[in-house]
Amino acid sequence: MKRIFASIMFVFMLFSITLSLSACSTENTAKADEIVIYNWADYIYDFEDDFKEYYKEVTGKNIKITYTTFDTNETMITKITKGDSKVDVICPSEYAIQKLMEMDYLVPLNYFSEDVSKYLDTSKLVGYEHYSQNLDNNIIEKIDAGFGNITCTKENGTSYSANMLDYMVPYMYGTLGILYNKEEFKRLGIFDKEIMNTANWGILFNDSGKRDKEGNIIPLSEELSGSILMKDSIRDSYAATLFYLMETGKLDNLTMEDGRQYTDLTASELINTVDDNIIELAKEALVEQKNELFGYEVDFGKDDLLIGNAMVDLAWSGDALYAVEESWNDDLNDGEGDYELGYYVPHTYGNIWFDGWVVPKTYNPKHETAVKLFINFLNTAEVSAANTLEIGYTSAVDNQVVLESEEARAILAEGYIVNAPEYLDQEVLDSFEGEYDFESWEEFEDYFFNSFGEMDDSNWRYPFEKIDDSENDYNRSINDLGMMRDFGDKNNDIVTMWNYARSVGVSALPIFAIVILVLGLAIAVIYLVYFISQKRAMSIKVSSLNKKE
């Protein structure tokens, strides 16, 4: 009896404890604030614990984080505008932010206002610091110049003008350039500053930038033919093609619809030009380029270059830098080691892009404080360093802010295996087992913050930096880097042009043959299933008759 009573009491105690824990859990969940983040895949470091700690310190509350991802700006825009995705903060590219603003889908943030209270009510926060001053003024000015006057239209048809900087906070940025196999270029004799800076964007078209007596293209190298990859991206390929048309003189003496000469345009004006004439010229150049291509790619260009399928690829700077760092080969350079791949941004023109954080009008107003603290958190020096290390692209936080933070330097030193006892403790240094990628912080700093490309005298990671005492004309100015806007009403024309250029030379017969084969196999499988079922039915029927007999 005692055992039964004890068992009952034990079960009752367990039940009481479970109820208590459940109540506590419910209470804690109820007290926790929430945020729903919508971002590109693999586009932030493992931030959740750090942000929860930051949020707890500033608000005294816990935070529940829901993190979801998208693969294209178009997917994101569709979900936001159709109301299929209830998110609080998203990270689109510049032209997508423009598009959402034009459709009146975003709420103003006012992060850069001199009055912080316009961004966030800090009266209930503890020790809040506003980090807008941490952002690189170069990228701020560039955004202001390119997107300072956007016409937004409300649902009732009324319009208003807005500055993008009032609605977004820049996150990451990068350049468009050329990833190439440096070792193969050396073998071909074209790894040369003068040769590559004469070809420029023509490298993607196997065009040396020189012509024979008849005016025909002199290839950069016959062996490059069939070894060039183009990015399977309409906007990036369009920009690179227009740069190529400009630098090879194919736009000389041509007049735009508004009477201006194409050759008078800046890089930004050029890549945002979408009149019928230039679209047609781009189509012709892309069709002709197909004779030189290995194919189109989005994610596998690096692998194709490393295994020898291709030598050249149109690339984004972050992907390119990651690929270059992954291509280190100890056997190169007489055993001293070197990178097999290189990244090159032509000195003539270039494209700079950015992604930024915005808040859709469909966000949950109860999450406003969490959203704005999250954006501010991303602009700390330590988070900037962690993101740059993880993602490979350039943080919008000023590099000097990172350099002046001991915590940020320690993150980079550990991530890049730097022998830096001034920033790393002995336990971390011992974990490297004496094998360092950089023997000192000074060596790493020169590589990471100040290293300039071997071919174009420009910094890979921080394109606003330049060599002031360059002895040649290859010292690119920030004015030579353009930002692309949304194509607007001409977007369908650009898409049509791109689809045509990509499909030229692709025969429909193989596709038709595959379709016929698949249909034939399907019919055969259906017939086989029918035949087997009929045989089985007949067998059952015969068996049944035998039993009756």
Question: Over its length of 549 residues, how does the chain's per-residue pLDDT go in tens digits?
Answer: 434 444 444 444 544 444 444 444 444 445 789 999 999 999 999 999 999 999 999 999 999 999 999 999 999 999 999 887 789 999 999 999 999 999 999 999 999 999 999 999 999 999 999 999 999 999 999 999 999 999 999 999 999 999 999 999 999 999 999 999 999 999 999 999 899 999 999 999 999 999 999 999 999 999 999 999 999 999 999 999 999 999 999 999 999 988 999 999 999 999 999 999 999 999 999 999 999 999 999 878 888 998 889 999 999 998 898 899 899 999 998 888 999 999 999 888 899 999 999 999 999 999 999 999 999 999 999 999 999 999 989 999 999 999 999 999 999 999 999 999 999 999 999 999 999 999 999 999 998 988 767 776 667 788 876 655 555 555 566 667 899 999 999 999 999 999 999 998 654 334 444 445 556 666 665 656 556 665 555 554 445 444 444
Measure the CA–CA gap between 285 and 271, rounded to whole angstroms: 15
The correct CATH number of 174-354+473-503 out of 3.90.550.10, 3.60.40.10, 3.40.190.10, 3.40.50.720 is 3.40.190.10
The tokens for 435 are 């094998």
| Residue 165 · residue 390 · CB < 8 Å | no
pLDDT value, residue 407: 97
- Break the chain down into helix, strand, coil percent, rounded to 5: 50, 15, 35
Helix (H) or strand (E) run with residue 186 in it: helix 182-188
Q: Which of 163, 155, 166 is nearest to 104 (CA)?
A: 155
User: Given CA atoms 490, 491, 492, 494 in this order, what sign does their dihedral have?
Assistant: positive
| Residue 111 · residue 119 · CB < 8 Å | yes
Q: Which of 88, 87, 105 is nearest to 96 (CA)?
A: 105
Q: Which residues lie closer than 8 Å to 397 by C-beta, 6 or more apart?
A: 134, 135, 136, 379, 380, 381, 384
The correct CATH number of 31-172+359-403 out of 3.60.15.10, 3.40.720.10, 3.40.190.10, 3.40.50.300 is 3.40.190.10
Measure the CA–CA gap between 10 and 504, rounded to whole angstroms: 78
User: What number of other Cβ atoms are within 10 A of residue 55's Cβ?
Assistant: 22
Give CA separation, 314 vs 10, 217, 365, in Å.
69, 20, 42
Q: Which of 40, 106, 102 is nearest to 75 (CA)?
A: 40
- Give the orientation angle of helix 491-503 with respect to helix 276-289, to 10 degrees: 20
| Residue 159 · residue 151 · CB < 8 Å | yes
Q: Name the residue type at position 392.
A: G
Q: Report the DSSP pairing between strands 228-231 and 293-297.
A: parallel
| Residue 315 · residue 297 · CB < 8 Å | no
Q: What is the DSSP letter of 109?
A: -
The tokens for 13 are 């105690």
Q: Report the DSSP pairing between strands 228-231 and 312-316.
A: parallel
Q: Which residues lie closer than 8 Å to 528 by C-beta, 6 or more apart?
A: none
Measure the CA–CA gap between 201 and 349, rounded to whole angstroms: 9
Q: What is the DSSP letter of 418?
A: B
Measure the CA–CA gap between 543 and 535, rounded to whole angstroms: 12
User: What number of other Cβ atoms are within 10 A of residue 224's Cβ?
Assistant: 25
The domains of the chain are located at 1-30, 31-172+359-403, 174-354+473-503, 509-539
pLDDT value, residue 235: 95
- Phi, psi of 468, deg, nearest 5: -75, -25
The two domains 31-172+359-403 and 174-354+473-503 share their CATH topology (first three levels equal): yes
| Residue 267 · residue 349 · CB < 8 Å | yes
pLDDT value, residue 83: 80
Q: What is the DSSP letter of 480?
A: G
